[in-house]
Amino acid sequence: MPLSDRSIANAKPKDKAYKLTDELGLYVLVNATGHKAFKYDYRLDGKRGTYTIGSYPRVSLSEAREEHRKARELVARGLVPTAVREEQKSNGKRFSHYFNEWLRTSNSAPSTKADIIQRVNKNLLPYLDAKPIEQWDTRELYDLLMKVSDRTRETALRLAGVLNQIFKQVFVLKLISVNPAAGLSELLPKPDKLTSTNFAHITKPEELSNLLKQIDSPPPKQDFVVTQALKLMPLLFLRPINIRFLKWEYIDFEIKMINLPATELKTRKPLQVPLATQAVAILEHLKPLTGHLEYVFIATRSSSNKPISEATCNNAIKRMINSETNEPYGTGFMTTHGFRHTASTFLNELGFDPDVIELQLAHINRDRIRATYNKAQLMEKRIEMMQKWADYLDELRGKT
């Protein structure tokens, strides 16, 4: 017999919860405390489910029956009513929506943003967009980042920071009651000190010689663009992100110079990078392949026009063979960031002016050097140093 408002209102609590049945799976569950709730039992894909419609009398019988009708239609279409309701609460907005909002208000350099987008698209979006953002908890986010950490701890820690900022923003907007990403970075394994502070790098001429020769003789399956990036890194000793996100518009072939705008640099100051003839040759070799695109280093097998990843270049170095053991070097031998440290070590040992080296590394405070050099003299010294450095690397390759 169908329920009535009177029968529900007059129902008294008992020692144990009991049901007042309406029809087609709708019923009122009366708890021992006297609380009454409309519920709907259904079966979907052979599994039993219960959908809680709402508490009586906040939800009336007529309202419960209408919600029950809608829920039955969802089940008939193979949808779980609870999941649909949660998605409607969030207006269907998933992690990607809030990620894009966060990016829009971020003041990070374009290259930094592009790097974050690449990492998030690869490691987070395929998973986090599977359900509304408020349904994610700390344990799920931790498990996801641990999978990333198994490949690269540094990336996992960076992504933990990104997640914390995005979920914090959603929390401040009162769209979630707690930030599930808070404290994640403290739970994750930390990178080895070698790679997190000094970055693995070479300090011996014979090791650098072996590395350069192997870069020049890549394995057959290695992408051509990756090889050219590895060839250019020791010549420019820029941060890996500035190599990977190098744009053709920054390169002036006429004066043999890369002009990086302030927005691309950690120092928020522009940097000019003199190009040795060897560096110009590499870029000219690449131009027919990617010159029509925005970025210089886009993999030939890529259909997305996205720059190569740092992991791709580092993995290529790890696979290079140790001439003493005939085994791959693996982790701890050299990283793409290590080219900066290697160049600094060698250039200082070769007797180049430390201030000029630090300026080219974008380390030095430009105000300090104004008392020592004028701008023209500095550029002359930097052009000379970059060409002599390229010639020295050719000597190590055995090309002179």
Residue type, 166: I
Please tell me whether residues 321 and 256 are part of one structural domain: yes
Question: CA-based Rg of the chain, rounded to a whole angstrom?
Answer: 30
| More confident of the two residues 295 and 375 | 295
Q: What is the pLDDT of residue 193?
A: 46
Please tell me whether residues 159 and 71 are part of one structural domain: no
Q: By three-state DSSP, how is residue 390 classified?
A: helix
Angle, CA 214 vertex, CA 212 and CA 220 arms, to 5°: 140
Q: In CATH, what number is assigned to the domain containing residue 381?
A: 1.10.443
- The pLDDT tens digits for 302-355 are 767 788 988 888 889 888 887 777 888 777 778 888 888 888 888 887 888 888
Q: By three-state DSSP, how is residue 55 classified?
A: strand
Q: In CATH, what number is assigned to the domain containing residue 74?
A: 3.30.160.390
Please tell me whether residues 260 and 383 are part of one structural domain: yes
Q: In CATH, what number is assigned to the domain containing residue 103?
A: 1.10.150.130
Token readout for 394 is 């050719």
* Averaged pLDDT, 172-177: 85
pLDDT category at 298 given cuts 50, 70, 90 is very high
Token readout for 341 is 């440290």
Q: What is the pLDDT of residue 155?
A: 81
Q: What is the pLDDT of residue 370?
A: 46
Lowest mean pLDDT among 69-73, 204-208, 275-279: 204-208
Residue 254's alpha-carbon distances to 75, 134, 236, 280, 375, in angstroms, are: 68, 54, 18, 10, 20
C-beta neighbour count of 170 within 10 angstroms: 22
Q: What is the pLDDT of residue 119?
A: 84
Please tell me whether residues 222 and 172 are part of one structural domain: no
Please tell me whether residues 274 and 392 are part of one structural domain: yes
Token readout for 189 is 């394994």
Among 89, 106, 121, the domain boundary falls at 89
Average pLDDT, the chain: 86
Contact predicate 240/118, CB 8 Å:
no
- Res. 366: pLDDT tops 60: no
Q: What is the pLDDT of residue 191?
A: 62
Please tell me whether residues 242 and 262 are part of one structural domain: yes
Rounded percentage of the chain residues whose pLDDT exceeds 70: 91
Buried b (16+ CB within 10 A) or exposed e, 341-371: bbbbbbbeeeebbebbbbbbbbebeeeebee
Token readout for 260 is 């990086």
Please tell me whether residues 110 and 61 are part of one structural domain: no
Total number of domains in the chain: 3
Please tell me whether residues 226 and 368 are part of one structural domain: yes
> How much helix, strand and coil, in percent to the nearest 5, is found in the chain?
55, 10, 35
Q: Say if residue 240 is preceded by a cis peptide, omega within 30 of 0.
A: no
Please tell me whether residues 66 and 114 are part of one structural domain: no
Among 191, 221, 241, the domain boundary falls at 191
Please tell me whether residues 157 and 218 are part of one structural domain: no
Please tell me whether residues 225 and 315 are part of one structural domain: yes
| More confident of the two residues 176 and 301 | 176
Q: What is the pLDDT of residue 371?
A: 44
Most confident of 78-87, 176-185, 278-287, 334-343: 278-287
Q: How far apart are CA 28 and CA 225, in angstroms?
A: 66
Q: Say if residue 219 is preceded by a cis peptide, omega within 30 of 0.
A: no
Rounded percentage of the chain residues whose pLDDT exceeds 90: 46
Among 150, 169, 191, the domain boundary falls at 191
Residue type, 10: N
Strand-strand pairing, 271-274 and 251-252 = unpaired
> For residue 297, what are the domain limits?
198-397
Please tell me whether residues 117 and 66 are part of one structural domain: no
